[in-house]
Chains A and B, each alone.
Chain A
Amino acid sequence: MAMISITRTDFRTHRVLRSARTATAVLVAAVSCLAAAGARAATESGAGARAVIAETVEEVLAVLRDKSVPTEDRIRSIEEIVYGRFDLCVMSRLVLARNWKRFSEEQKAEYVKEFKRYLTNSYGSRIERYDQQEVEIIGEREEPRGDVVVQTKIMGGEFEGAVVEYRLRNRAEGWRVIDVVIEGISMVSNYRDQFKSIVSSGGPELLLEKLRQKNAAGMAID
């Protein structure tokens, strides 16, 4: 708890410095994000979804194993691999759920961008701790409304035997991951609960403020 209440004195400076760069980047992100929403290709079998996960896992593990490459470069490579297969627009919308409508277009765009940075910072910090784990795909199932869930299991290390499920949706660009569920704990649901309590106490601006603050604190690996 105490961690969260720490206020960073240098955080305002970061904000001012970044706001100019943000403004342009945000507009680009917004356009692509809104255009992609709603697009949906013809349904194919779950094999397509499974192939996406198999490829992603293989590529990510290859990067993780090669410890000769500096951490920052490996984070970049993984970001490229993962964000190519994740639909961050859908994901960030699902996280906000009904609150999405409370955000203005500008706020939506900034939120999607900050949320992505936040994910990168959160998961990037775990790269150093990779300890030769392997990932086994144990099956997939089609959900009633067309999403496909691919189930994997972690072999070895501190999370030995943990079941990780990837939920994929068929988008115009192909199968894209929209949620990661670890032992029943959904990433979308977990962030949704956290963000909901923040938005209901301080509105969209408080959530953006908190995301900026976290991202500024995690800038060391950015």
Chain B
Amino acid sequence: MKPWGDPARRMRLIALVVIAAALGAGVAWADADADAGDPWETMNRGIFRFNEGADRWVIEPIAKGVDFVMPDPVERAIRKFFVNSMIPIHFLNGLLQFKPLAAFEDLARFVVNTTIGVAGFFDPASYFGLEEHQEDFGQTLGVWGVPPGPYLVLPLMGPSNPRDTVGLIADSAALVYPYFVPFYVSASIGVGRQLNRRSLALDEIAAQREEALDYYVAVRNAYTSYRENQLRDREEDESDGDDLYYPD
């Protein structure tokens, strides 16, 4: 094994450095323009349009094919398998966020679902009352006090922000198996996972696209709110949403 000899791995390292620099820039930018919300909107909308095109002409048709061939329960089992396979990462992040109880509950889920749940295709752990905590490195950085930075749409990967982009790269670098298999194998696994997720969401995404007055803004709001909510871990929001619920 030459961990950094492979060009694909070297690219990943370079990307990490570039994104880390972008994070710094993003944070500075966010401070300067805190109220604007989306200072990169023009660029973001461009990338969003590209992603929508890619989805419409390539990803969605393939996902429809997948959905046609595979029954929904099978797709859901595959999603469970992928979620289970990510638990070691969630466990690590739970520890990094100083939440040992949540981390070990995740670990217990992993043990139960990998064994009794046949490699994670079934979810007996939920039946036993073990809850899942999907902690990722983007959230870990948030717990450590790193601000998200401006909203950022990544090519093909979709909605993000500088903090979550670093998180995404760190989490995929922490995955063990890609270091032991050829690049095209781990790439295919990644594609398979995304296609499976996409084929489970065909109707919902079509409906959202159809009904939104501004789909870009709808997605931006949903992503930002969802991530904030994950970071709060569904605890009570103390602000009472004054601006949202009492605008006058």
Contact = CB atoms under 8 A, between A and B. Distances in A.
Q: Do A and B truly interact?
A: yes
Contacts of A100: 247
B207 A125 contact: yes
Interface stretch (B15-23, B113-121, B164-172, B226-234): B226-234
B244 A198 contact: no
A110 interface: no
Interface in A98-157: 98, 100, 118, 121-122, 125-126, 129, 141, 143-145, 147
Given A145-B246, A190-B218, A193-B217, A129 B211 contact: no
Interface of A is mostly: helix
A46 to B, nearest CB: 13
Interface string B224-248: 0110111010101000110111110
A10 interface: no
Contacts of B247: 93-94, 97-98, 100
A121 B245 contact: no
A87 interface: no
Given A2-B56, A3-B215, A194 B245 contact: no
A166 interface: no
B193 interface: no
Interface residues of A, number: 43
A163 interface: yes
19 contacts: A2-B56, A4-B215, A118-B211, A122-B207, A145-B240, A145-B246, A179-B244, A184-B232, A185-B225, A186-B241, A188-B244, A188-B245, A190-B221, A193-B221, A194-B221, A197-B217, A198-B213, A214-B211, A214-B213
Interface of A: 1-4, 93-94, 97-98, 100, 118, 121-122, 125-126, 129, 141, 143-145, 147, 158, 163, 167, 178-179, 183-186, 188-190, 192-195, 197-198, 207, 210-211, 214, 218
